[in-house]
Amino acid sequence: MVKQAQFKIQQTAFMLVALTIFFVLVGLVFLGFQFSNTREDADQLKADQATLLVSKLANSPEFSCEQAFNENKENCVDFDKILVLSENKEKYSNFWGVSDIKLRKIYPEIEGEVMCTKENYPECNVVHFIEEEIRGNYVSNFVSLCRKEMGEREVYTKCELAMLLVSYEEYYEE
Amino acid sequence: MRKHDKKGFLGISFGWLFALIVGAFILFLAIFFAVQFVNTQGAAQNIVTSKSLGILLDPLETGYEQSKVTYVDLGIETTIENACSDVGEFGEHSIRTSQELFGRESVGVFAASFSNKYIFAEDEISGKEFYIFSQQFSFPFKVSDLIFILPKDQFYCFVNADSEMQQLIFDLGLQTIRNVSSEMQCRANEMSVCFTGGKCDIHVNQNEGYTLKENVRMYFETEALLFASIFSSTELYECQLQRVMKRVAHLAELYSEKKSFLATRECTTIVDVSALQIMAEDFENSEDILLIKEEKESVARINENSRCRLW
């Protein structure tokens, strides 16, 4: 009789422990699912931020032509200014809240990828602002790329076509 | 046969007692973790709202236009807290939102921080709907757009503002700001702003270039800073102005280097922004605007007349 009672107690105890473990596992699966939703939300926010930023970055004072070329130009990037800016990358590394900003001149075309420096300017086609090695997705926007150019007698404004690219990093599993 | 009918104190078997105790414990754990989960989700929602609000401010970057207005409806009662730090290269502005969840306020954390935005508002603003507008700030080159957040149910009454200010308010289309000719015409729920003396909550002295609010003077230069001094708390105004001046200093340095670079390409200019850079770096409080504004005007004039403009 006593043994039977003890057996029943053990039975109940094991059942309750098994039930608890089961519900803990269910809870973990649910939390894992929720976390992956949060991760997707975070990635979507980053994508939205990059998309909105790239549409307005050309009007940012560090990029914009303002009235340097004697007229107001919208979506105009000052090539002379951004070349100088690209040499001060460290100060602006976290400024815009994205992982990378890159400018690529697309017309006139230059073969390959030539990083702009003071030595090869303006015969180059890529300016990097934040990082050298990027892993992430890019969103882009077309801009006019203007600079001062020395003519035969005087300085004039020369404008070309470029693409501004903003990169955001998605959440990667370690 | 002898029956074992000896009854215990409670009249229930040990097995049932054990099951009741463990069951109650499991139920307690389940409720505890459910509440924790709801709180975590609430905090996560607040962080998402803060970050989303910051991202919504990106399109306010102006191009040709001087100002832009947008309207945000958050759907539920939200408290937005603003915090500013002028530490680092550009300082930082942080937003924390708290929203009502199941009838209780769920407080978020200062998770949404921005180095490239300058937001002027009271330290804590509440509401479901907000007006957000921006004004371009140039000093003398374009520095940034100053962003203002006003709850839709926070009303202002501008007393004897000049025609330029009245036109600006009209053009912005903000329904929460009224122009009147006397402070007697201001309603009880309106924050009164006097431009030519009188008894108001806020006094603006455009001749001497300061706004008096809570017995504190906030000096301004340009319309953008005038708005900032009216709509912002004094601490936030001073901090954001510090951050803005850091940006002025960095941009001045950028233009100095551009000047040297252009000289090598035979495009010379006599514009010298080094003094402006130094004054911006040494900027301590809004009163220093009185010292720096003359240098800014001088530099603007020289650049305007220069063959090879820097901006």
Collect all residues of chain B within an 8 Å Cβ-Cβ radius of residue A80.
258, 261-262, 265
Task: Determine the pLDDT at residue B250.
Answer: 95
Residue B252 pLDDT class (50, 70, 90 cuts): very high
Residue B247 scores a pLDDT above 50 = yes
CA distance linking residue B295 with residue A160, whole number of Å: 35
Cβ distance A117 to A124 under 8 Å? yes
Of B59-68, B139-148, B163-172, which gets the smallest average pLDDT? B59-68
Contact state of B44 with A38 under an 8 Å Cβ cutoff: yes
| Exposure string over B77-113, b if 16+ CB within 10 A, otherwise e | ebbbbbebebeebbbbbbbbbbbebeeeebebebbbb
Taking only the tens place, the pLDDT of each residue in A148-173 is 888 877 888 899 999 999 887 665 44
Taking only the tens place, the pLDDT of each residue in B209-222 is 999 999 999 999 99
Highest-scoring range by mean pLDDT, A46-60, B4-18, B40-54: A46-60
* Helix then strand then coil, % of chain A, to nearest 5: 40, 25, 35
Residue B63 scores a pLDDT above 60 = no
Of A82-96, B95-109, B286-300, which gets the smallest average pLDDT? B95-109
Task: Determine the pLDDT at residue B61.
Answer: 58
Contact state of A23 with B18 under an 8 Å Cβ cutoff: no
* Residue A113: burial class (beta carbons within 10 Å; 0-12, 13-18, 19+): exposed
B142 in contact with chain A, both atoms CB, cutoff 8 A: yes
Residue B165 pLDDT class (50, 70, 90 cuts): confident
Of B33, B116, B311, the CB nearest to A96: B116
Collect all residues of chain B within an 8 Å Cβ-Cβ radius of residue A97.
114-116
Instruction: Measure the CA dihedral A34/A36/A38/A44, to 10°.
Output: -150
Task: Determine the pLDDT at residue A62.
Answer: 93
Residues 6+ apart with CB under 8 A from B154: B125, B127, B176, B191
A91 in contact with chain B, both atoms CB, cutoff 8 A: yes
Compare B131 and A48 and report the one with higher pLDDT: B131
Of A20, A66, A74, the CB nearest to B142: A66
Residues 6+ apart with CB under 8 A from B58: A49, A52, A53, A56
Residue B168 scores a pLDDT above 90 = no
Interface of B with A in 30-59 (CB under 8 A): 30, 33, 37, 41, 44, 48, 51-52, 55, 58-59
Task: Determine the pLDDT at residue B138.
Answer: 93
A135 in contact with chain B, both atoms CB, cutoff 8 A: no
Interface of B with A in 200-219 (CB under 8 A): none
**Which of B114, B254, B255, B273 best tests the A interface by mutation, with the highest count of A CBs <10 A?**
B254
Of A12, A52, A60, the CB nearest to B18: A12
Task: Determine the pLDDT at residue B12.
Answer: 67
pLDDT > 90 fraction of chain B, expressed in percent and rounded: 48
Question: What average pLDDT does the segment A113-138 reach?
Answer: 82
Residue B104 scores a pLDDT above 90 = no
Taking only the tens place, the pLDDT of each residue in B176-197 is 899 999 989 999 999 999 998 8
The whole-angstrom distance between A137's CA and the closest CA on chain B is 18
Task: Determine the pLDDT at residue B98.
Answer: 81
Q: Indicate the pTM of the whole model.
A: 0.81
Contact state of A59 with B63 under an 8 Å Cβ cutoff: yes
Task: Determine the pLDDT at residue A172.
Answer: 47
Task: Determine the pLDDT at residue A174.
Answer: 39
Task: Determine the pLDDT at residue B78.
Answer: 85
Taking only the tens place, the pLDDT of each residue in B267-301 is 888 889 999 999 999 999 999 999 999 999 999 99
Cβ distance B81 to B150 under 8 Å? no
Cβ distance B159 to B204 under 8 Å? no
Beta-bridge partners for B69: B133
Structure tokens at A156: 């004039």
Structure tokens at B49: 């709202």
Question: What average pLDDT does the segment B40-47 reach?
Answer: 72
Q: Quote the DSSP letter at residue B183.
A: G
Task: Determine the pLDDT at residue B203.
Answer: 95
